[in-house]
Amino acid sequence: MRPRRSLAAAVGLVAASALALAGCASEAPAADDAAPSANASGATDEFPLTIKHALGETTIDEAPERVATWGWGSTEAAIAAGVYPVAVAEQTWTVGEGNLLPWVEDAYDEAGVDHPTVLTDAESGATVPYEEFAAAAPDVIIATYSGLTQEQYDLLSEIAPTVAYPETAWQTPWDEIITATDDALGRSAAGEAKVDEIKQYLADQAEAHPEFAGKTVAAIVDSPEEGLVYVYRAGDPRAGFLEGLGFKTAPAVEELAPDDGEFYYTLSYEELDKLDSDLVVAYTYTEEQAKALPTKKELQALPAVKDGMVVQQVGTVAVSAVSPPTALSVQYPEGMPKLIDSLATTLAE
Protein backbone atom coordinates (compact mmCIF):
# COMPACT_ATOMS: atom_id res chain seq x y z
CA MET A 1 0.00 0.00 0.00
CA ARG A 2 1.52 3.28 -1.08
CA PRO A 3 1.63 6.12 1.43
CA ARG A 4 -1.07 8.73 0.96
CA ARG A 5 -0.38 11.88 -1.08
CA SER A 6 1.92 10.29 -3.65
CA LEU A 7 3.46 12.52 -6.28
CA ALA A 8 0.90 13.38 -8.91
CA ALA A 9 0.95 11.85 -12.36
CA ALA A 10 0.67 14.05 -15.42
CA VAL A 11 -2.84 14.72 -16.67
CA GLY A 12 -3.37 14.41 -20.44
CA LEU A 13 -5.68 17.32 -21.10
CA VAL A 14 -5.68 19.21 -24.39
CA ALA A 15 -5.47 22.99 -24.69
CA ALA A 16 -9.17 23.17 -25.53
CA SER A 17 -9.97 22.06 -21.99
CA ALA A 18 -8.10 25.01 -20.58
CA LEU A 19 -9.98 27.41 -22.83
CA ALA A 20 -13.33 25.94 -21.91
CA LEU A 21 -12.56 26.16 -18.21
CA ALA A 22 -11.27 29.68 -18.54
CA GLY A 23 -14.53 30.68 -20.16
CA CYS A 24 -16.50 29.01 -17.41
CA ALA A 25 -14.53 30.77 -14.69
CA SER A 26 -14.64 34.23 -16.24
CA GLU A 27 -18.18 34.28 -17.60
CA ALA A 28 -20.24 32.34 -15.09
CA PRO A 29 -20.85 34.42 -11.95
CA ALA A 30 -20.97 32.81 -8.53
CA ALA A 31 -24.39 31.66 -7.39
CA ASP A 32 -26.40 34.33 -5.56
CA ASP A 33 -26.40 32.26 -2.38
CA ALA A 34 -22.70 31.43 -2.51
CA ALA A 35 -21.17 32.65 0.74
CA PRO A 36 -17.62 34.00 0.93
CA SER A 37 -15.02 32.37 3.16
CA ALA A 38 -15.89 33.48 6.68
CA ASN A 39 -13.87 36.45 7.98
CA ALA A 40 -12.06 36.75 4.64
CA SER A 41 -12.04 40.54 5.00
CA GLY A 42 -9.73 40.38 8.02
CA ALA A 43 -6.48 40.36 6.05
CA THR A 44 -3.70 42.42 7.60
CA ASP A 45 -1.20 42.56 4.72
CA GLU A 46 -1.26 45.03 1.87
CA PHE A 47 -2.65 43.99 -1.50
CA PRO A 48 -1.89 43.36 -4.30
CA LEU A 49 0.75 40.84 -3.33
CA THR A 50 2.84 38.40 -5.36
CA ILE A 51 3.65 34.91 -4.13
CA LYS A 52 6.64 33.06 -5.63
CA HIS A 53 6.44 29.28 -5.65
CA ALA A 54 7.83 26.24 -7.46
CA LEU A 55 5.52 26.55 -10.47
CA GLY A 56 5.68 30.30 -11.03
CA GLU A 57 4.55 33.58 -9.50
CA THR A 58 1.00 34.36 -8.49
CA THR A 59 -0.38 37.85 -8.03
CA ILE A 60 -3.41 38.27 -5.79
CA ASP A 61 -5.01 41.66 -6.32
CA GLU A 62 -7.13 41.87 -3.19
CA ALA A 63 -7.93 39.96 -0.03
CA PRO A 64 -9.51 36.65 -1.08
CA GLU A 65 -13.15 36.18 -0.20
CA ARG A 66 -13.72 32.72 -1.69
CA VAL A 67 -10.85 30.39 -0.96
CA ALA A 68 -10.39 26.86 -2.34
CA THR A 69 -7.70 24.51 -1.06
CA TRP A 70 -6.07 21.43 -2.56
CA GLY A 71 -3.72 18.81 -1.18
CA TRP A 72 -3.05 18.57 2.54
CA GLY A 73 -2.78 21.06 5.38
CA SER A 74 -3.67 24.30 3.60
CA THR A 75 -7.31 24.04 4.69
CA GLU A 76 -6.29 23.91 8.34
CA ALA A 77 -3.73 26.70 7.90
CA ALA A 78 -6.42 28.94 6.45
CA ILE A 79 -8.88 28.14 9.23
CA ALA A 80 -6.24 28.80 11.88
CA ALA A 81 -5.88 32.29 10.39
CA GLY A 82 -9.65 32.87 10.50
CA VAL A 83 -10.52 31.97 6.89
CA TYR A 84 -12.94 29.09 6.22
CA PRO A 85 -12.51 27.83 2.63
CA VAL A 86 -15.59 27.36 0.47
CA ALA A 87 -14.10 24.28 -1.25
CA VAL A 88 -11.58 21.76 0.08
CA ALA A 89 -9.90 18.62 -1.19
CA GLU A 90 -11.54 15.30 -0.45
CA GLN A 91 -9.70 13.01 1.99
CA THR A 92 -11.18 9.69 0.92
CA TRP A 93 -8.48 7.55 2.52
CA THR A 94 -9.10 9.03 5.96
CA VAL A 95 -12.84 9.66 6.23
CA GLY A 96 -14.46 8.42 3.02
CA GLU A 97 -16.06 10.23 0.10
CA GLY A 98 -17.69 13.57 0.75
CA ASN A 99 -16.71 13.82 4.42
CA LEU A 100 -14.53 16.32 6.26
CA LEU A 101 -11.60 15.52 8.50
CA PRO A 102 -12.93 15.56 12.08
CA TRP A 103 -10.81 18.52 13.21
CA VAL A 104 -11.88 20.47 10.12
CA GLU A 105 -15.56 19.65 10.64
CA ASP A 106 -15.30 20.64 14.30
CA ALA A 107 -13.77 23.99 13.34
CA TYR A 108 -16.60 24.82 10.92
CA ASP A 109 -19.26 23.73 13.40
CA GLU A 110 -17.74 25.65 16.30
CA ALA A 111 -17.56 28.79 14.14
CA GLY A 112 -21.12 28.30 12.87
CA VAL A 113 -19.90 28.29 9.26
CA ASP A 114 -21.54 26.27 6.51
CA HIS A 115 -19.51 23.25 5.52
CA PRO A 116 -17.45 23.66 2.32
CA THR A 117 -17.83 21.90 -0.99
CA VAL A 118 -15.72 18.72 -0.93
CA LEU A 119 -13.70 18.47 -4.15
CA THR A 120 -13.33 14.99 -5.62
CA ASP A 121 -9.82 13.59 -5.10
CA ALA A 122 -9.91 9.83 -5.48
CA GLU A 123 -6.33 9.56 -6.79
CA SER A 124 -4.23 11.63 -4.38
CA GLY A 125 -3.93 14.54 -6.78
CA ALA A 126 -3.15 12.53 -9.90
CA THR A 127 -6.28 14.04 -11.40
CA VAL A 128 -7.83 17.41 -10.61
CA PRO A 129 -11.60 18.14 -10.74
CA TYR A 130 -11.36 21.35 -12.75
CA GLU A 131 -15.09 21.63 -13.31
CA GLU A 132 -15.72 21.39 -9.55
CA PHE A 133 -13.17 24.10 -8.90
CA ALA A 134 -14.82 26.33 -11.50
CA ALA A 135 -18.28 25.70 -10.02
CA ALA A 136 -17.02 26.75 -6.59
CA ALA A 137 -16.05 30.14 -8.07
CA PRO A 138 -12.96 30.68 -5.92
CA ASP A 139 -10.94 33.87 -6.11
CA VAL A 140 -7.80 32.01 -5.00
CA ILE A 141 -6.72 28.34 -4.98
CA ILE A 142 -4.11 27.32 -2.43
CA ALA A 143 -2.11 24.08 -2.78
CA THR A 144 0.97 24.65 -0.64
CA TYR A 145 1.42 20.94 0.20
CA SER A 146 0.38 19.07 -2.90
CA GLY A 147 1.65 17.30 -5.99
CA LEU A 148 0.41 19.75 -8.63
CA THR A 149 2.12 19.35 -11.97
CA GLN A 150 2.90 22.35 -14.14
CA GLU A 151 0.00 21.43 -16.41
CA GLN A 152 -2.43 21.13 -13.51
CA TYR A 153 -1.24 24.44 -12.11
CA ASP A 154 -1.62 26.17 -15.45
CA LEU A 155 -5.18 24.89 -15.86
CA LEU A 156 -6.18 25.84 -12.33
CA SER A 157 -4.72 29.29 -12.88
CA GLU A 158 -7.25 29.75 -15.68
CA ILE A 159 -9.95 29.42 -13.00
CA ALA A 160 -8.37 31.54 -10.25
CA PRO A 161 -4.93 32.67 -9.04
CA THR A 162 -3.28 29.50 -7.78
CA VAL A 163 -0.49 29.17 -5.20
CA ALA A 164 1.55 25.95 -5.35
CA TYR A 165 4.19 24.52 -3.01
CA PRO A 166 7.29 26.64 -2.34
CA GLU A 167 9.89 24.20 -3.70
CA THR A 168 9.14 20.49 -4.05
CA ALA A 169 5.92 18.52 -4.47
CA TRP A 170 4.76 16.88 -1.24
CA GLN A 171 7.85 18.07 0.64
CA THR A 172 6.84 21.43 2.10
CA PRO A 173 7.97 21.62 5.76
CA TRP A 174 5.06 21.81 8.18
CA ASP A 175 5.76 25.39 9.19
CA GLU A 176 5.99 26.55 5.57
CA ILE A 177 2.64 24.95 4.77
CA ILE A 178 1.16 27.34 7.32
CA THR A 179 3.14 30.46 6.44
CA ALA A 180 2.84 30.01 2.66
CA THR A 181 -0.92 29.54 2.96
CA ASP A 182 -1.46 32.51 5.24
CA ASP A 183 0.86 34.73 3.19
CA ALA A 184 -1.41 34.13 0.21
CA LEU A 185 -4.40 35.16 2.31
CA GLY A 186 -2.71 38.37 3.40
CA ARG A 187 -2.50 37.03 6.96
CA SER A 188 1.23 36.53 7.40
CA ALA A 189 1.16 37.61 11.05
CA ALA A 190 -1.48 34.99 11.86
CA GLY A 191 0.59 32.32 10.12
CA GLU A 192 3.73 33.23 12.02
CA ALA A 193 1.80 33.25 15.28
CA LYS A 194 0.42 29.76 14.63
CA VAL A 195 3.89 28.44 13.79
CA ASP A 196 5.26 29.95 17.01
CA GLU A 197 2.41 28.36 18.97
CA ILE A 198 3.11 24.90 17.54
CA LYS A 199 6.85 25.22 18.03
CA GLN A 200 6.23 26.15 21.66
CA TYR A 201 3.99 23.11 22.06
CA LEU A 202 6.71 20.86 20.67
CA ALA A 203 9.35 22.53 22.84
CA ASP A 204 7.19 22.04 25.93
CA GLN A 205 6.73 18.38 25.07
CA ALA A 206 10.44 17.94 24.46
CA GLU A 207 11.18 19.52 27.84
CA ALA A 208 8.65 17.24 29.50
CA HIS A 209 10.28 14.20 27.85
CA PRO A 210 14.07 14.53 28.07
CA GLU A 211 14.27 10.84 27.18
CA PHE A 212 13.46 11.82 23.57
CA ALA A 213 16.60 13.92 23.15
CA GLY A 214 19.03 12.53 20.61
CA LYS A 215 17.23 9.22 20.07
CA THR A 216 17.31 8.23 16.41
CA VAL A 217 14.04 7.41 14.69
CA ALA A 218 12.76 6.06 11.38
CA ALA A 219 9.15 6.63 10.30
CA ILE A 220 7.70 3.81 8.20
CA VAL A 221 4.62 2.20 6.69
CA ASP A 222 4.60 -1.57 6.31
CA SER A 223 2.99 -2.83 3.11
CA PRO A 224 2.40 -6.58 3.42
CA GLU A 225 0.68 -6.73 0.03
CA GLU A 226 3.85 -5.54 -1.68
CA GLY A 227 6.36 -7.21 0.61
CA LEU A 228 8.15 -3.97 1.41
CA VAL A 229 8.31 -0.99 3.75
CA TYR A 230 7.88 2.68 2.90
CA VAL A 231 10.35 4.98 4.63
CA TYR A 232 9.72 8.72 5.05
CA ARG A 233 12.77 10.86 4.36
CA ALA A 234 14.34 13.45 6.65
CA GLY A 235 12.81 16.38 4.74
CA ASP A 236 9.27 15.11 5.18
CA PRO A 237 7.03 16.98 7.69
CA ARG A 238 6.53 13.77 9.68
CA ALA A 239 10.24 13.68 10.42
CA GLY A 240 10.18 17.41 11.14
CA PHE A 241 7.63 17.01 13.91
CA LEU A 242 9.53 14.13 15.50
CA GLU A 243 12.68 16.21 15.41
CA GLY A 244 10.76 19.04 17.07
CA LEU A 245 10.21 16.67 20.01
CA GLY A 246 13.95 16.12 20.35
CA PHE A 247 14.43 13.02 18.20
CA LYS A 248 16.93 12.80 15.36
CA THR A 249 16.18 11.20 12.01
CA ALA A 250 18.36 8.10 11.89
CA PRO A 251 21.38 8.61 9.56
CA ALA A 252 20.45 5.37 7.79
CA VAL A 253 17.21 6.96 6.55
CA GLU A 254 19.09 9.27 4.20
CA GLU A 255 22.02 6.94 3.58
CA LEU A 256 19.64 4.40 2.03
CA ALA A 257 17.53 6.92 0.11
CA PRO A 258 17.77 7.09 -3.69
CA ASP A 259 18.45 10.42 -5.35
CA ASP A 260 15.00 10.77 -6.88
CA GLY A 261 13.57 13.80 -5.07
CA GLU A 262 10.62 11.92 -3.54
CA PHE A 263 9.50 12.30 0.07
CA TYR A 264 9.68 8.55 0.68
CA TYR A 265 11.35 5.43 -0.68
CA THR A 266 10.85 1.69 -0.31
CA LEU A 267 12.90 -1.12 1.14
CA SER A 268 12.24 -4.78 0.50
CA TYR A 269 11.96 -7.00 3.55
CA GLU A 270 15.37 -8.42 2.66
CA GLU A 271 16.94 -4.95 3.09
CA LEU A 272 15.43 -3.98 6.42
CA ASP A 273 18.52 -4.85 8.45
CA LYS A 274 20.18 -1.76 6.93
CA LEU A 275 17.64 0.63 8.47
CA ASP A 276 19.26 1.05 11.87
CA SER A 277 17.59 3.34 14.42
CA ASP A 278 16.90 3.52 18.15
CA LEU A 279 13.19 3.66 17.50
CA VAL A 280 10.71 3.00 14.70
CA VAL A 281 7.44 4.89 14.34
CA ALA A 282 5.04 2.80 12.24
CA TYR A 283 1.89 4.31 10.76
CA THR A 284 -0.49 1.36 10.75
CA TYR A 285 -3.90 1.42 9.11
CA THR A 286 -5.81 -1.37 10.86
CA GLU A 287 -5.94 -2.95 14.32
CA GLU A 288 -5.24 -6.31 12.71
CA GLN A 289 -2.01 -5.04 11.17
CA ALA A 290 -1.05 -3.35 14.40
CA LYS A 291 -1.46 -6.53 16.42
CA ALA A 292 0.69 -8.54 14.00
CA LEU A 293 3.43 -5.98 13.35
CA PRO A 294 5.65 -6.27 16.48
CA THR A 295 6.19 -10.01 16.02
CA LYS A 296 6.00 -10.17 12.23
CA LYS A 297 8.88 -12.36 11.08
CA GLU A 298 9.94 -10.16 8.15
CA LEU A 299 10.03 -7.00 10.27
CA GLN A 300 12.32 -8.57 12.86
CA ALA A 301 15.12 -7.62 10.48
CA LEU A 302 14.59 -4.02 11.58
CA PRO A 303 16.91 -3.60 14.57
CA ALA A 304 14.46 -1.41 16.48
CA VAL A 305 11.56 -3.82 15.96
CA LYS A 306 13.70 -6.74 17.05
CA ASP A 307 14.54 -4.81 20.23
CA GLY A 308 10.88 -4.02 20.89
CA MET A 309 11.41 -0.31 20.17
CA VAL A 310 8.49 0.25 17.85
CA VAL A 311 5.68 2.77 18.33
CA GLN A 312 2.51 2.47 16.27
CA GLN A 313 -0.05 5.10 15.34
CA VAL A 314 -3.12 3.06 14.42
CA GLY A 315 -6.18 3.83 12.29
CA THR A 316 -6.72 6.14 9.36
CA VAL A 317 -7.87 9.15 11.40
CA ALA A 318 -5.17 8.77 14.05
CA VAL A 319 -2.52 8.33 11.36
CA SER A 320 -3.79 11.32 9.39
CA ALA A 321 -3.63 13.52 12.47
CA VAL A 322 0.15 13.07 12.58
CA SER A 323 1.05 12.06 9.04
CA PRO A 324 1.82 14.84 8.79
CA PRO A 325 0.23 17.07 11.44
CA THR A 326 -1.49 20.28 10.40
CA ALA A 327 -2.29 23.61 12.02
CA LEU A 328 -5.46 22.07 13.52
CA SER A 329 -4.56 18.42 14.04
CA VAL A 330 -1.39 18.89 16.12
CA GLN A 331 -3.28 18.72 19.41
CA TYR A 332 -6.14 16.53 18.21
CA PRO A 333 -6.44 13.97 21.07
CA GLU A 334 -5.85 10.96 18.84
CA GLY A 335 -2.93 12.69 17.09
CA MET A 336 0.30 14.04 18.56
CA PRO A 337 -0.81 13.70 22.22
CA LYS A 338 -1.47 9.99 21.68
CA LEU A 339 1.75 9.50 19.72
CA ILE A 340 3.81 11.35 22.34
CA ASP A 341 2.36 9.16 25.11
CA SER A 342 3.20 6.04 23.10
CA LEU A 343 6.75 7.26 22.48
CA ALA A 344 7.25 7.94 26.18
CA THR A 345 5.82 4.58 27.19
CA THR A 346 8.01 2.65 24.78
CA LEU A 347 11.20 4.44 25.82
CA ALA A 348 10.38 3.79 29.48
CA GLU A 349 10.16 0.02 28.97
pLDDT of 8 reads: 30
pLDDT, one tens digit per residue, over 177-231 is: 999 999 999 999 999 999 999 999 999 999 999 999 999 999 999 999 999 999 9
- Residues contacting residue 322 through CB under 8 Å, at least 6 positions apart: 238, 241, 283, 313, 329, 335, 336, 339
Q: Which domains does the chain have, with CATH numbers?
A: 15-188 (3.40.50.1980), 209-348 (3.40.50.1980)
Per-residue pLDDT tens for 247-280?
Answer: 999 999 999 999 888 899 999 999 999 999 999 9
Cβ atoms of 121 and 153 closer than 8 Å = no
**In this predicted structure, what is the pLDDT of residue 43?**
85
Determine the average pLDDT of the residues in 309-313: 97
Model pTM score: 0.86
DSSP string, 3-72: PSSPPPPP----HHHHHHHHHHHHHSPPPTTPPPPBTGGG--S-SSEEEEETTEEEEE-S--SSEEE-SS
* pLDDT for 260: 87
* pLDDT of residue 10 exceeding 60: no
CA angle, 25 then 73 then 242, to 5°: 160
Q: In the predicted model, what is the mean pLDDT of the chain?
A: 89
